[in-house]
Amino acid sequence: MTLNNESTKKLTGAIELLLESSSRINEAKPRRYWYPLSLATYGVEEIIEALDSLCSFRTTMWEKTLQFERQFAVYQNCSDSVMVNSGSSADLLMCFLLTNPVQPLLNLGDEILVPIVTWPTQIWSAMMAGLKVRFVDVNPTTLNIDIEDLERKITPSTKAIFLVHLMGNPCDMDQVMAIAKKYDLHIIEDCCEALGAEWNGTKVGNFGLAGSYSFFFSHHMTTMEGGMVACANHEITEQLKILRAHGWVRNVDPTLYDLTNYDVDPRYAFVNWGFNVRPTDVQASFGLHQLQKLPGFNKRRIELANKFFDFIDNQPWLSRPKSDPKASPSWFALPLLVATDAPFSRKEITNYLEIKGVETRPLVAGNIAKHPVAKIFSEFNVNTYPGADIIHQQGFYLGLSPFHTDQDIDKLIDCMETFIFKFN
């Protein structure tokens, strides 16, 4: 059965009491971090919607997933969108779209340019799809792909660019698009940390064939785990849906495939290879309400980030990413770099903050070429990456949640000022 109005009212009251009780219990417990990297952004509406799916026994990918996909496409102002079980799966499908055996855009072994500072599944996705990854350095001033190194790395084998808009700061899309046009390169975009960010009025994720988004717990909006691909056209949407679910035609336009010469049940026809990276309707239940809250979330993130960055801009030994006048960042976190001539190290300030109850972490994964996995793949050992090395050695970030308060930011600033004052 589905929830009726009376059931919904009763459940709403019960859930509100449970959330209030849970909040009191959590407040009574000693917490390691008073300023964590992330805070829960969901509430009664998301829980009720998820319970409705459970009570109607429609928990797998169903109508709510399709509804969420349509609403996300409207928000993103793209042709269509395809929901998956994670942002990493979104990256995976975009890369397999490029080497899709049914309609390949690239050949196996073609080069794809990827920034060396990124979440590693972006790299693995391209490798698993049969592409040759060629790494590009990152500009520590913006945290994004180094435009000069990008053009320098292009060879006759280069056929695509896999951008990442790190920390919600848009890449310089004027220069990127000019390079892509000059060398006839496909573009796909990782926007997992940049939901809502824009370049010159256009949302990131709309510049190439497709853009990926993550709805992990700590991201701009959450479905717990979950992701989305924004698609440039309907044909890409259909191919991604087939790749999403086993190579199956179940959730695509049946008129695209002539099955008359095949002795198969059309409900169980397979026209390509594929994965099973489908989401659930329970995840989509969260997404329907989180998407409505997203503009408010992002507005609040920007307010808090600007307040903190105003403080950082007046510090001699700390800096934050700079954004182009054409860019409208959608800050994912509060990224910082410690100056190389600072009288303290990154480890010293992060250790201090951790002791004081402020959670810290590296800037994504830093320079991936410095991780143990680099020993496995020769692609990592071709070049040096001075910009990425600075980020790796000097960078860290702090959390940014729409549920952090102005008082939280004030206390965070006071905490950092106390540390910095010791060196003045």
**Residues taking part in catalysis:** 219
CB 298, CB 41: distance < 8 Å? no
DSSP helix/strand/coil, 178? helix
Alpha helical stretches, state H, 129-233: 147-152, 173-183
The DSSP result for 314-379, as a single string, is T-SSEE-----TTEE----SEEEEE-TT-SS-HHHHHHHHHHTTB-EE-STTS-GGGSGGGGT-GG
User: In which order are the strands placed within the sheet that holds 327-328?
Assistant: 202-203, 198-199, 327-328
Amino acid at 184: D
Quote the CA–CA distance of 93 and 275 in Å, as a whole number: 9
CA 339 to chain centre: 27
The C-alpha atoms of residue 196 and residue 77 are separated, in whole angstroms, by: 11
The CA distance from 128 to 176, in Å, is: 25
Beta carbons of 89 and 120 less than 8 angstroms apart: no
Using left for φ > 0, alpha for ψ between -120 and 50, and beta otherwise, residue 193 falls in: alpha
Do 400 and 37 form a contact (C-beta atoms < 8 A)? Answer: no
Distance between CA atoms of 424 and 420, rounded to whole angstroms? 7
Q: What residues contact 415, with CB distance under 8 A and at least 6 apart?
A: 353, 356, 358
Contacts of residue 359, defined as CB under 8 A and 6 or more positions apart, other chains included, come to 32, 33, 35, 36, 37, 353, 398, 399
What is the rounded distance in angstroms from the CA atom of residue 175 to the CA atom of residue 165? 14
At 313, list the tokens: 């801009």
β 210-214/186-190 pair status:
parallel
Phi, psi values for residue 22, rounded to 5°: -60, -40
Bridge partners (DSSP) of residue 202 are: 199
